[in-house]
Structure 1
Amino acid sequence: MITVEGLTKTYGGFTAVNDVSFVARPGEVTGFLGPNGAGKTTTMRILAGLTRADRGVATIGGHDYRQIPNPGRHVGILLDASAQHAGRTGREVLTLGAKTMGLPASRVDEMLELVSLTDAESKRRIRNYSLGMRQRLGIAHALLGDPQVLILDEPANGLDPAGIRWMRGLLRGYAERGGAVLLSSHLLHEVEQIADTMLVIGHGRIVASGTKAELLTSTGTFARSVDDARLAPALQAKGVAVRPDAKGLGIIADADPQVVGQTSLETGVALLELRAADGAGLEDLFLQLTADTQRESKTEGVPA
């Protein structure tokens, strides 16, 4: 099990991770969602013992990663598929890992077969690997020691659709056998397909967590009226949080439809549409929760 409590990391005046807490449990795939620069990789680097936190605790099975004897036998980590010795072959990388962990040489062949790297491909220099092949090799190395926990940062980068489906099945099977998976990604569809629990991070903070169903049912009420500019302040005056709909079609209010309907009546603003906002989908929810972190929020004025 992965446990993170109050994790904070700053670089100068920039806070990369801000009071982050969560648990990734055995038997589950935990999706770690967020835009680039949101704090996912920093959190994972702290878990892997590569970066020291300023405050908070990050443990795997109750232990700091740096205190685990022969950690590769307990935790499999893939943070950067390109951070492998370009002059070595794939087989050499796995063989060195197996020797370091005290594993038999047969384990190398098992892993190569598992990730569908052929004998010829395993003998090629990594500098000649595609990104997808490097990802497969990185996953093989993470699984080499038959660990109980996997920490994977953007493992689908470079994989084609068939490769993504393969990886999804691999990780699903791993979790069903009792393993704990922490999977970071900005590919929302990928996470939606595989994750049991999802964490959404923005500006270094966890802004939402739960299952897909829990997250979608917590998105409030969608309303479209003849005058949203009047309706929104009236709701806010009642203490209701209001935000624009991700598609620009109306507003999302963190209140029951009854409250929004009553406020509309009191304000004299006719409603055109009123419904629970649980049909928006994961992508819309993600954009709503991380709206202030998006670089691509404006499209007006872009030349054709």
Structure 2
Amino acid sequence: MSAVTTTEAAVTVAPAKDTPQVRRRRRLSPGRRLPAARLAGPVLLLALWAAASAAGQLDPAAIPAPWTVVRTGAHLWTDGTLPTDILTSLQRAATGFVIGLVAGVVLALASGLTRTGEALIDGTVSLNRAIPTLGLIPLFILWLGIGETFKVAIIAIVVYIPIYLNTYAALSGIDHRFVELAEVQGLSRFAFVRQIVVPGALPGFFVGLRLGVTGSWLGLVVLEQINATSGLGYMMFQAQNYGQSDVILVGLVVYGVFGLVSDSAVRLVERRVLSWRRTLSS
């Protein structure tokens, strides 16, 4: 009896040699999103600019100090010049952006959902994309005149191309099994677009939307220096003639702030609309 008990105790105490050890799972995801992380780069750049200016490493005539740019911006704002130019630029950018947005989405849907539309539209847009948009300015001036119309038209072209390309690519990338499932379920054309096409195209659409928002500001910088009497680009062009680098930097800072804010707004809407996706960014 005691021999059996001793044997059982030995069996109980003896460690199992083949028991696998628990391995810690390695985290491969980027981790949690840091609050206001996208502002770290601009803030660091501003700090380096201020430090270099304070140390006398930058020529004030070429690159004024940040506090000089702030004083100049405050002066332009109080005398009414900066608010008027900002409002004019916003109107031009918004009008061209809306036209380009509608055109890009409509053309992408027509090209992505029908073979006839693809044959007529996709090649034409690819040809338009191969031609430098700013190179169309002389031709558009001859067609539309030197006023506001040609500026809005150029901005619309700059906007619609990335929106079309990314939305069309997303439509083309929808798994054909979803289309077959919709056919088996007997979905109508409207229900198919609402339940299959729109969710499948939204990720690509938002990528194109971000590129279009940025493109509208880039095009505006050039267009407002051509026969314009107001706008941020006109203000910068006039400052160039008088050697006012601080005014030029004010315009660039305003353009940069508008671009960052608009891009952040699109990203916020994207995260809300596509909250159902599980991605690295989420």
TM-score (normalizing by structure 1) = 0.22
Higher-Rg member (1/2)? 2
- Higher strand residue share: 1
- Higher helix residue share: 2
TM-score (normalizing by structure 2) = 0.24
